[in-house]
Amino acid sequence: MTTADQINLAIAFATAASVIVSLVVAIVSYQAVQASRASVMVMREQLEATTRPYVLVAPVVRPMSTFLQLRIANTGTSSARNLRLVLDRDYHFNADEAASSNLRTYTAFVHPIQEFPPEAELLFHLGVGHRIFRSDLSPLRFVITAKYEYGGKTVEESTTVDLQPFISAGKPVDPIAERLEGISGELAKLREALGHRDGES
């Protein structure tokens, strides 16, 4: 093999090595770009999760009673726009037969709410446990669908409201309300004792 052949062979090997290195660099660069895009997408999703509205639908019990209410609140950090609330069946407040007691016909469930800002809250009275748990006019389960917009997106979420677990459940106790009730009782006793003493004098 002549010197010229050896040089040509070396050039060929160098060219092949250069092509292989270039290919490896291209593959690594492509993977880095893909990983970067995935990272950016995750960051966008995380940012959206912390800045979007969340419409919460849940039943609540008024402290120191068996009176149930339906709470609808925006627990997110931005406004839910053009919020539409739909009740899937009739629900009569406190098992009252009057058409005006049907939650399904309330304004919030008939007309869209243009702007439902963060921390906004709606409370609807459902009724007292011993009445609504015994009547078909107040179903124990119903579905509320919330459809709203934010940041160019439209969201539709359905929540099943289940009142059955509240049957035979204990009353929620508010320590402050309980203490105030005790003070009120003590004041009533004191007033009665003072009135009785004034009567004797």
- Shared domain for 173 and 119, answered yes or no, is yes
Domain that holds residue 126: 55-177
pLDDT of amino acid 176: 59
12 domain-assigned: yes
Residue 168 burial (CB < 10 Å; 0-12/13-18/19+)?
exposed
Per-chain mean pLDDT for the chain? 84
Q: What is the pLDDT of residues 1-33, one digit of tens each?
A: 677 666 666 676 667 777 777 777 777 777 777
Question: Is the domain of 78 the same as that of 153?
Answer: yes
77 and 33, same structural domain?
Answer: no
Count the Cβ atoms, other than its own, within 10 Å of residue 164. Answer: 9
DSSP 39-67: HHHHHHHHHHHHHS--EEEEEEE-TTS-E
| 29 and 70, same domain (yes or no) | no
Output the pLDDT for position 156. Answer: 97
